[in-house]
């Protein structure tokens, strides 16, 4: 395949960025999108140019490090992370725009890399349990309804990539926050901090500058892990309950 890439280049957080066009020939349809960027970076390096900075780690859809907007869509045209997207999803001769996540709470650090530490601070504000750890407990000591276990697992699949924020016109991180609150709130171990958790995490979410949810649903459409929109309804129920109880 021969493709044309238009990539967001930005030296650092303080300088203005711009789209820069690169042509790439003989791209294998079986390459992942990130492997294609590796090939381009090798060519840039050999010609003495700065390689394109982009985040990645596992390259198998589990760590949540990668994330770019491809042709206006977070993670690109497939329901998968950018690292699991393959070049066969594009036509020969395609012109592909590659941009960083666009959100006020995710400032650009360099090129396609954004600062997602706001997510870490939301987790620090309540995304944990205080139950003592230690050796693995006997599996049936704490009975959990199958339905609850399944929903908790579904929410635990969130990898913290931030595509939901990038896709949301409000720049809201409600789907991410709701996934963490649901994951812990459905399990017995998550009950002691259930009310303080939702209050703390929502306060931090708003403090970081993420927008509010207006039920548009772009987040769930862009989510590579299929976190459903009703996870946010569950967060709202927990939040109203915590506020009404006055204990949080
Ligand atoms: S909810 Fe989905 S899109 Fe948002 S951070 Fe988690 S995995 Fe990524
Ligand atoms: S590099 Fe880990 S999810 Fe893409």
For residue range 53-111, list pLDDT tens digits in order.
999 999 999 999 999 999 999 999 999 999 999 999 999 999 999 999 999 999 999 99
Check pLDDT > 60 for residue 227.
Answer: yes
> What separation in angstroms does the CA of 193 have from each of 178, 188, 245?
15, 11, 13
pLDDT at 4: 98
- Confidence check: pLDDT of 33 > 90: yes
Write out residues with Cβ below 6 Å of ligand 2: 56-59, 61-66, 81, 83, 159
Q: What is the pLDDT of residue 105?
A: 97
Q: Which of 33-42, 138-147, 152-161, 181-190 has the lowest mean pLDDT?
A: 138-147
Q: Which atom of ligand 2 is nearest to the CA of 57?
A: 1
- For residue 229, the ligand closest to its alpha carbon is 1
Q: Which pLDDT score is estimated for 131?
A: 78
Ligand nearest to the CA of 164: 1
Q: Distance from the CA of 72 to the center of ligand 2, in angstroms?
A: 19
Virtual CA dihedral for 184, 231, 222, 118, nearest 10 degrees?
-50
Residue 175: how many other CB atoms lie within 10 Å: 27
- Do residues 33 and 55 touch, judged by C-beta distance below 8 A? no
Average pLDDT, the chain: 95
Q: Which position has the higher pLDDT, 126 or 246?
A: 126
pLDDT at 247 over 80: no
Which atom of ligand 1 approaches the CA of 119 most closely? 5
Residue 248 has pLDDT above 60, yes or no: no
Q: What atom of ligand 1 comes closest to residue 159's alpha carbon? A: 7
Which pLDDT score, from 0 to 100, does residue 197 have?
97
Range from 20-34, 119-133, 149-163, 206-220 carrying the lowest mean pLDDT: 119-133
Per-residue confidence band for 139, with pLDDT thresholds at 50, 70 and 90: confident
**CA–CA dist 8, 17 (Å, integer):** 7
Higher pLDDT, 247 or 152: 152
30 SS3 class: coil
Contact criterion met (CB below 8 Å) for 2 and 24: yes
pLDDT at 130: 87
Alpha-carbon distances of 158 from 50, 96, 119, 176, 192, rounded to whole Å: 33, 27, 12, 7, 22
* Angle in degrees, CA 165, 129, 81, rounded to 5: 30
| Phi, psi of 187, rounded to the nearest 5 degrees | -105, 150
**Contact of 179 with 231, CB cutoff 8 Å:** yes
Q: Cα(92) to centroid of ligand 1, in Å?
A: 30
Give the whole-angstrom CA distance, residue 175 versus residue 231.
Answer: 7
């Amino acid at each position: 395949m021969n493709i044309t890439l238009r990539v967001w280049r930005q030296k650092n957080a303080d300088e203005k960025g711009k789209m820069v066009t690169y042509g790439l020939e003989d791209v294998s349809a079986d390459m992942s999108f990130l492997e294609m960027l590796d090939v381009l970076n090798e060519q840039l390096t050999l010609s003495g140019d700065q390689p394109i900075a982009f985040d990645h780690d596992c390259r198998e859809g589990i760590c949540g490090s990668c994330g770019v907007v491809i042709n206006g869509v977070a993670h690109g045209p497939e329901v998968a992370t950018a690292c699991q997207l393959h070049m066969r999803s594009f036509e020969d001769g395609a012109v592909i725009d590659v941009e960083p996540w666009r959100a006020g709470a995710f400032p650009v650090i360099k090129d396609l890399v954004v600062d997602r530490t706001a997510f870490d601070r939301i987790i620090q504000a309540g995304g944990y349990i205080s139950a003592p750890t230690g050796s693995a407990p006997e599996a049936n000591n704490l009975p959990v309804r199958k339905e609850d276990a399944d929903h908790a697992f579904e929410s635990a699949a969130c990898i913290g990539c931030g595509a939901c924020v990038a896709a949301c016109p409000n720049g809201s991180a409600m789907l991410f926050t709701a996934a963490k609150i649901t994951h812990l709130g459905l399990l017995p171990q998550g009950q002691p901090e259930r009310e303080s958790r939702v209050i703390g995490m929502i306060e931090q979410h708003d403090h970081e500058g993420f927008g509010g949810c207006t039920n548009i649903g772009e987040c769930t459409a862009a989510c590579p892990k299929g976190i459903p929109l009703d996870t946010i309804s569950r967060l709202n129920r927990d939040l109203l309950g915590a506020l009404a109880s006055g204990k949080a």
